[in-house]
Structure 1
Amino acid sequence: MIYALFLAFTKAGKFVGFANFIKVFGDFRFGPAVQHVAMFVAIWVASLIVLVVLLALIVHAVRVRWLSATTRFLFYIPGALAGSASVMLWLFLLDPSVSPVATLLKQFGSTSFVQTVAQDNLPFIFTVIAFWTGAGGWIIIMYGALNNISSDIMEAARIDGAGPIKTAMYIQIPLLRKWIAYMGVMSLAAGSQLFVEPKILSLASRGVVPKDYSLNQLAYLVAFGPQGDFNSSAAISILLLVVAMGLAAFFVFRGGLFDRD
């Protein structure tokens, strides 16, 4: 990070102030890349928080021990795959000519792989891929956090006549607040670094998915493309860092991550 800061504010070893940042802002590819990443992160983090908490509550409510353990194991399996391997799997699933869910894809108007990976669909496709690979681990973490809730509190709720929904809304979810904040911080860090998924889809679609779709891809192209501009690439990296830290701070303070119980 310190070296990136040095590069971002220098050129050929000389201090140039915000010149590299101004150059990045003026790049016609920067605005669309920001929009792409922002849309993906918003959909990804919101869906992750809602679905992971919901699935963790459902699994925790299962009282048959072997069934609960099996469900958690099945949720975790996709997380054991490397990111690139998961994308390769989804290349198969997203191609209507070979996909086992081709009927579903055609219901959404996709009759070819190129139509499926159209730019308007990409934030949702990347969200599905990210959820597939990352949600299982978070479900297990939330399950552990639910197990940590005092049995006295849960028993008091049952005695007061609270059903599963009220117990979840007024006891379990509020007590999961710190874990949800932690999940939000880590997911923001991962989501803002979007690179592998659009990179592989770009290769597979032969350019239908642009090579500069995400900010990380743009930083890579600026540094290692014809420009060979490591200083501007570092400026993009610093911008990503600042935004990610700002959003992380929001989750930390709103979620009370470091508050004492």
Structure 2
Amino acid sequence: MLFCAPFVVLFLGMYVAPIVYAAVKSLYTVRRSGLGLTPPTEEFDPFGNYGRALDDGAFLSSLGRIALFGVVQVPVMLGAALVLALLIDSRSARGKGFFRLSGFLPYAIPGVSAALVWSFMYSPQSSPVNRMLEPLGFTVPFFDSDLVLWSVANIVTWSWTGYNMIIIYAALQSIPAEVLEAARMDGASAVRIAWSIKVPAVRGALVLTAVFSIIGSAQLYNEPVVLQPVSDGAVSSTFTPIMSAQSAIAAGNYPYAAAQSVLLAVLVGVVSFVFFKFTTRGEQE
């Protein structure tokens, strides 16, 4: 118990306490006088902020935007991570250490720094991509209102594919060599071995990375915030749920920001739980 005490204290103080505080804070509503001559007051109204959040078009749009982001970006990223892990794990692969390191390197770059580099790549004034495409007669409007979400998704995919690849690759290393050798002796091709043996064997790792990616999608913040100043208004201050909560904090309405955060946490928890139960249903039967 003494050895566990430092962790328990830090866990309660830095993790549980802020969650409890935010949940309690969300039950109060900020009241301001009509003339604004008196300081705002907080009144107990357990459903006021939640009702306002569920009727807030900007907040609901940010939830829908993140849901679309997760439905498209997470499968693409995990699919790319799985393919890269399988390629590195293949018997004919050479330079495995180099490709593991090069694939993981984008994750080692801080997210804000990566977003700054990509903002340079996307900017209409400095984009080397559009400069190469100009002779062909077209350019890519990275900050178009219909495309900016996928511009953000590209940054996230670039940053996190290597991280997920390492997790999946580590799971591939646990497959017994005897099983793979027996499949080769039976005449199975490399593609058949990958599809029928390796992919089912790393199912647990895929579920784990998928849950982490779902939670990470809901926490999307750094990339759109960095792109916001150069996006010509395509990235609004309520582009993601966390940005919407930050806008409420900037306006001095902490209880409303807390309610948005609680709603986001509950939704992510429910989605992650349902996804986990659905993907592990066959193992429990």
Task: Give me the TM-score of the superposition, normalised by structure 2.
Answer: 0.81
Judge conservation of contact 1:93–1:100 (CA < 8 Å) in 2: yes
Aligned length: 253
1:238 matched residue in structure 2:
262
Cα deviation, 1:124-173, whole Å, max 9, x if unaligned, reads: 11111011111112111211111111111111211222112211111111
Are 2:24 and 1:3 equivalent residues in the alignment? no
Q: Of 271, 274, 277, which aligns to 1:247?
A: 271
1:76 matched residue in structure 2:
104
1:143 matched residue in structure 2:
169
- Note the 1:1-261 alignment, pairs <5 A: 1-11=19-29, 15-61=44-90, 63-65=92-94, 67-102=95-130, 109-110=138-139, 115-225=141-251, 228-256=252-280
> Are residues 34 and 94 of structure 1, via their aligned partners in 2, closer, same or farther at CA, if it must alter by over 3 Å?
same
Write the letter of the residue equivalent to 1:221: S
Question: SS at 1:210's partner residue?
Answer: coil
Question: SS at 1:119's partner residue?
Answer: coil
In 2, the alpha carbon distance for the partners of 1:181 and 1:142 equals 10
In percent, how many aligned pairs have the same letter?
A: 26
Write the letter of the residue equivalent to 1:9: L
Judge conservation of contact 2:123–2:230 (CA < 8 Å) in 1: no
- The structural deviation recorded for 1:118 is 1.4
Which has the larger Rg? Answer: 2
Judge conservation of contact 2:238–2:247 (CA < 8 Å) in 1: yes
- The structural deviation recorded for 1:250 is 2.6
Task: Give me the TM-score of the superposition, normalised by structure 1.
Answer: 0.88
Question: SS at 1:40's partner residue?
Answer: helix
- The structural deviation recorded for 1:253 is 2.2
- The structural deviation recorded for 1:103 is 5.2
> Are residues 247 and 216 of structure 1, via their aligned partners in 2, closer, same or farther at CA, if it must alter by over 3 Å?
same
Judge conservation of contact 2:74–2:214 (CA < 8 Å) in 1: yes
Unaligned runs of 5+ residues in structure 1 are none
- The structural deviation recorded for 1:49 is 1.8
